[in-house]
Every structure is written in structure tokens, then in C-alpha cells.
Amino acid sequence: MYPNERNYIMRRIRKKNFIPTNLDTEINLEILSQGIDELRYMLQNINVNYSDVETEYRISHQFEEQISESIVLSNGIAVDSNYKIETYTAYSHSFIKQDEYSIFKFISAERLAELLYKDHNGYYGVIGHWGGIISGLFPEVLRRNLTWIQPSSFLENGALNNDNEPGVYKKCHPAIIADELNKVDHLLISNIHLSNLYLLSPNMLEELAHNVKEMLYLPVRMPTRLLSIVWGHGFSSYQYDGQSYFRWAIGTQSKFNLELINSTSQSIKVQLSWESETSSVESSILRVSGLGLFVNVPVSNNISSLSAEVTLLPGKNNLQFEYLGIPVQGNDLNLYQFMIKNLILSINNQPYLLNEEAHVIDHIEDYYLDDYSIRQKLHSSGFFEVKPIAFINSGYFSVPLPTSRYLHRDSFVQLKDGCSEEFYNLANQGIYSAVVLYCANRSTRLEDEVSTDV
């Protein structure tokens, strides 16, 4: 964080009428740079005199959105109003080196390097923390033509050319990477969070595309469903007792989140239903908030049922649970608070997610956009042909997805029908998540002239 950033953000957020002025805890903006989870933790520990708990939830959510937007804006990055928190999450996590390493669980470094240089001549670029690994897999004669840019949280350009190594190495803030990248023929973004940042922030992808002459490789993690349920930190692994699927909320934390991911570009009205119970014979309260809900559900060791209709906006939608009772220590010494089981998400009262597929996905940071939206953004940024590859089950096998071609700025044609259907049908095979590598070709050559074979 550069020196004046903290004061700048504080001035911005305090201009908003909904921000309480009687904060007893000073906002530590250094914490915010570590990610949205820490931001939520900070918000929970701000001591504010609210008139009621519903107002507390509403103000905290607005505060979280506004401070996320302020931090991203102060770093020179535009924010789509539909994806404020998602954009901040992608931005902040793009600096975490270990997060990026997870891509190699799906796509090997050898495969990524081969995609860049195989059957190609010219100049190459890698944007990410592990460009050194990919560079090391290049033929030695090609390394001098490689530029590696590592995301940095500092706005100053940190060019770090190493005279002992061929090629160019730089450290750059995401907002100025496009300015610092010389034109390359083939560019790989190996950081999934940075890929999301380019897709979520208006104009960033288009500015970067100006520096790509031929191919852009963009990895994105996607659910295999248009709607997905992601279980947050603190929930146990999902279990099945022969009749029901369920998860326990475990530990000492007071609040637990379900993330309902809408991977489309439209709001969708859905119906939710589930059952809750605890291990305690004493009656207590499970508070459910978010998505327009604020209800107190009596719970005990007898089953309590709840159903509600909510609207899911594009991107992440949080449903928060707070147990206002005393946890029970289990035989494994864990503290068990409450159980959620038989969760069902329905559209038009027809079940869409239930059983295993409603309980299986664990917390992850980077589910945002659907296949159609990503293709549209790539085509509108000047790429004629987009040929994605889905890497499944930790990369043990891959599925080529249908190719699409540019028609005009706001639409495209698919060379094969059922592009999205083919990808989302993977869910019927028990596959709930994949890393999709979008291979975007700027030229108008026929697709079989560009090698993206798997």
C-alpha cells in the first residue's frame, strides 16, 4: 500500500452517509490488503451502537462493499457495480504467490510452457508469480524472447532485469501491467485471480489485449453448474448417512457462510429449503441473514425446517448463519454448533441442486463468471476465435469445449452448438468444478492452424 493510500480511502468512505461515525475501533487498512476474509473479520469487531441487529447486518454489508470499491479504485482499477467485492477479492488475492500455485494441480507447467512456444516463433509473455518455472521449461534459444511480469502490490514499476538470465523480468502493479508489457505474440496469465480481475474490471482486458498480437491464454476456475452452492470456512466435510446429506458447523467462530454462486449475467429468483438441528437438548436460536432474509429459527436436537425465496445476483451471494447457543463437544473434541442437511435449491419450484451436488463444493475464492460472459468479453476485446479447454479432476483429463468466433462487438457465433450445455453436462458425471483455459486467437486464421490440442 503506497503512503497516502490509507488517508485517501478513509476520506472516501467517511463521505458516505451510511458509514457510522462512532467507530470505537480504528480501521486498520493494512488488514484489508490481506483479503476479503480479513475484511469481514474486521467488520465483525467494529463496535457500533446500532438500533437493531438487522440494521447492523445491512450497514456492515454496505460498508464492506464500499470499502472494497474504495480500495480498488484507489489503485487505479475500475469497478463493475455488480461485482464490487468480487473485484476486490480478485485484486487482493492476485498478490498471494501460493494461491497461484494451485493452477499446476490442474494444468502442468510443462503443458502451459508448451502452449506458449510450440510451433510458434516470436515474443512471449507470462504474467504471474511462477513465470520462472515456465521460463525454465522453454527451449534455451527462446528464453531471450520471454517477458515475465510478476503482480506487485506497489504502484511503482519495479523492473528487475537479471543480467545473468535471458529475457525480461518485471514486478508491476496490476493497474499498470498493460503499460509495462511490450507487444508479445503469445501471452499467458498463470494467475487465476488476475485472470478474474481482467475479466471483472471494465477496460482492463481490452487494454491488455492491445499488447497481444496472436494468442492469449487465460485460466479461469468455473463451476459446472450455472448456479452453485459453496460451503464456507468452518463447515465440516459433507456426510451421507444413507438417507440425508449434511454438514456440521464446527468450532468457536460465531458466524458461518454459504456462498450461492450465480455464474450467469442475470439475476435469478430461487427457492431454498433445508433442515437444521443441534446436538443440544436445550432450545436455542439459529439466526439466518442475507439475500433479504433476517430470521431467527428455533433449533434443538429436533429437526427444524426452513424455506425461503431469494434473488441471486450475478456473482457471489452470501447467506450467513449465526448460532446463538452453546456448542456441544463431540467425541473427537470438536465443538459442534448446528447441522444443515437436505439443502435444496429450486428454480420455479423445480429442484435444481439437491443431494450431493448441493453439499459437495468447499469454500473457494474465485467463482464469478459464466462461459458465455467470458467469451463475450474476449471477443469484444478483439479476439477473433476462442477455443477453451476444461481441465477436470485435478488435471487427470481434459475436455475441449466448442470454439466460438467473433460476429460483432456484442455477440459471437459458435462453431458447434451447445457450447455451454456441453460444459455444464459435466455435472451429470459427478464433476462439480473445473479449470478452463481460454485460448483466445486474435488472428482470423482457421482454427486447425492454431495448435491447442490436449
Q: Answer yes or no: do 109 and 52 share one domain.
A: no
The CATH number of whichever domain residue 161 belongs to comes to 3.40.50
pLDDT band, residue 53 (cuts 50/70/90): very low
The CA angle 253-258-263, to the nearest 5 degrees, is: 150
**352 and 241 inside one domain:** yes
> CA 170: distance to chain centroid?
25
Tell me the mean pLDDT in the region 220-241. Answer: 88
The verdict on 441 and 327 lying in the same domain is no
In the structure, what pLDDT confidence band is assigned to residue 394 with cuts at 50, 70 and 90?
low
Higher pLDDT, 149 or 265: 149
Report how far residue 66's alpha carbon sits from residue 84's, in angstroms, rounded to the nearest whole number.
Answer: 8
In a domain, 454, yes or no: no
d(CA 442, CA 219): 17
Same domain, 123 and 170: yes
Q: What is the pLDDT of residue 430?
A: 60
pLDDT(401) > 70: yes
| Same-domain check for residues 293 and 402 | no
The average pLDDT across 350-367 equals 85
* Count of domains forming the chain: 3
DSSP strand pairing (315-323 vs 284-290): antiparallel
Q: What is the pLDDT of residue 418?
A: 45
Cβ proximity of 192 and 100 under 8 Å: yes
Tell whether 67 is covered by a domain: yes
State the residue range of the domain holding 103.
97-224+370-449
Q: Are residues 219 and 292 in the same domain?
A: no
Task: Give 149-201 pLDDT, tens digit per residue.
Answer: 999 876 544 455 554 456 788 888 888 899 889 899 999 999 999 999 999 98
- pLDDT mean across residues, the chain: 77
CA distance 370 to 265: 7
Q: What is the pLDDT of residue 4?
A: 43
Please tell me the predicted confidence (pLDDT) of residue 74.
73
Say yes or no to pLDDT of 37 above 50.
no
Answer yes or no: is 86 within a domain: no
Query: What contacts 220, CB < 8 A, 6 or more positions away?
Result: 192, 195, 196, 199, 366, 369, 374, 435, 436, 438
Would you say residue 287 lies in a domain?
yes
Per the model's pLDDT, the better-predicted residue between 28 and 333 turns out to be 333
